[in-house]
Amino acid sequence: MDRLGLLETFACAVDEGSLNRTAKRLGITQSAVSQQIKQLETLFGEQLLHRTSKGVQTTRAGELVVGHARSIQSGFEILQTELTDMKETVSGTFRLSVSNILGRAIVGPMLIDLGTPYPELNIVMKLEDRLVDVVREGYDLAIRSGRLGDTDGFGRKIAALKTVLFATPAYLDKVGRPEAIEDLMRLKMVQHNEEQTQGFIPIIKDGKEFQAPVRGGFTADDPDLILQAVDNCTGFARAPRFMIAEELANGTYEQVLPAYSNPDKPVFAVYPTRHAAGRGLDIILQGVADRLEAIQTEFQQVHPHPYAITA
């Protein structure tokens, strides 16, 4: 039973002084108006209106009810206004969980820049590569690349990062440069523990995806350690192109299997509810998208096509 709706109908009937005029105002039938008022009278156990040939008049109980009904209506309207203001006001504290790579290279710098135009916005960002549960851990937003895993929140894809297999030239000189996907077994793979390959990685050629067999060499949960392992000739790794674009360009790293490509790595925004609420989160997400687009434009100008990031 919609009790608020019953009170609104009753207050309208008192204002109009007629069930017929009330029906026209609300866009329903007169019998529907009469039925709703009867439901309200049954709910309170009191007669609320006297019905006369000239219309309707409130009883003593009806006067009491209509006074409270108007107060409830007014309070509800104030509540709606305050909720709207809350969504439109860019202020308050927002707790974010962001992966290390995205946090350091994209999200973190963007959030720092937001402090100038939005001084009332308080950002609490935690860099972590584990798959957090935004609901249970009290986050307003999590930004992750790769798989989402189990969470009580709701995820939305906001971008996709181009990835590349890479190693140092010294390592490839030592073990040989693979020419076919089967040749990867000669190499060891350095990988993030949240993206362990289970013995295979997807490789694309001529629009077809293949599962390339690989063997592990080092696994860590920190991007810097992964790069250190690659630098130490421990093996090859897979990373977003933007992360190592300059090193690929200056020869510090070399692409592995350059005749093949790798699937894009999706970037997800995860919220505790189905719809992200508030302008603050809207601005943060737009900032992430803008930063990704800026990186895409920069890399396309310096390295046409191979270094693209697609949103």
How many domains, the chain? 3
CATH code (residue 296): 3.40.190.10
pLDDT at position 90: 72
Confidence of residue 180 (pLDDT cuts 50, 70, 90): very high
Same structural domain for residues 35 and 125? no
The residues, any chain, with a CB within 8 Å of residue 10's CB and separated by 6 or more, are 36, 37, 40, 48, 62, 65, 66, 69
Percent of the chain with pLDDT over 90: 45
Structure tokens at 117: 């135009």
pLDDT of amino acid 248:
94
Q: Same domain, yes or no, for 248 and 169? A: yes
Please return the burial class of 179, using the count of CB atoms within 10 Å of its CB with bins 0-12, 13-18 and 19+. exposed
Cβ atoms of residues 265 and 160 within 8 Å: yes
Residue 273 has pLDDT above 90, yes or no: no
Among the residue ranges 149-163, 175-189, 226-240, the one predicted with the least confidence is 149-163
Angle of the 30-44 helix axis to the 19-26 helix axis, nearest 10: 110
The answer on 289 and 207 residing in a single domain is: no
Q: Mutual orientation of helices 60-88 and 3-16 as an angle, nearest 10°?
A: 120
Domain boundary among 60, 88, 116: 88
Of the candidates 187, 218, 184, 186, which has an alpha carbon nearest to the alpha carbon of residue 201? Answer: 184
* pLDDT cut 70: percent of the chain above it: 87
Burial class (CB in 10 A: 0-12, 13-18, 19+), 43: middle
Q: Note down the domain range covering 211.
A: 163-263
- Calculate ∠ Cα 239-241-247, nearest 5°: 95
Angle, helices 30-44 vs 60-88, to 10°: value is: 100
CATH number at residue 70: 1.10.10.10
The domain boundary, picked from 224, 241, 263, lies at 263
Q: Is 300 or 181 the better-scoring residue by pLDDT?
A: 181
Q: Note whether 255 and 172 are same-domain residues.
A: yes
pLDDT of 285 > 90? The answer is no
Give yes or no for residue 310 having a pLDDT over 90.
Answer: no
Residues 64 and 181 in one domain: no
Q: Are 309 and 242 in contact (CB under 8 A)?
A: yes
Indicate whether 254 and 301 sit together in one domain. Answer: no
Among 25-39, 42-56, 152-166, which stretch is predicted with the lowest mean pLDDT?
152-166
pLDDT recorded at residue 253:
98
pLDDT recorded at residue 259: 93
pLDDT digits (tens, 9 = 90+) for 191-242: 987 776 778 899 999 989 999 999 999 999 888 899 999 999 999 999 988 8
Does residue 83 sit in the same domain as residue 96?
no
Instruction: Please tell me the distance from the alpha carbon of residue 39 to that of residue 33, in angstroms, as a whole number.
Output: 10
Calculate mean pLDDT across residues 285-291: 82
How much is the mean pLDDT over the chain? 85
Question: Which carries the bigger pLDDT value, residue 293 or residue 88?
Answer: 293
Looking at the structure, tell me whether residues 130 and 272 fall in a common domain.
Answer: yes
The number of residues making up the chain comes to 311
* DSSP letters for 197-251: -TTEEEEEETTEEEEEE-EEEEEES-HHHHHHHHHTTS-EEEEEHHHHHHHHHHT
pLDDT greater than 70 at residue 55: yes
At residue 254, the pLDDT reads 97
Same domain assignment for residues 141 and 190: no
Q: Of 88, 111, 134, which residue sits at a domain end?
A: 88
Asked whether residue 151 falls in the same domain as residue 300, the answer is yes
What CATH number is associated with residue 240? 3.40.190.290
Do 151 and 288 fall into the same domain? yes
Residue 251, pLDDT > 90, answer: yes
pTM for this entry = 0.63
Q: Tell me, what's the pLDDT at 256?
A: 97
| For residues 290-298, average pLDDT | 73
- Tens of pLDDT, residue by residue over 74-117, are 888 888 776 766 556 677 788 999 988 889 888 999 899 888 88
If asked whether residues 61 and 206 sit together in one domain, one would say no
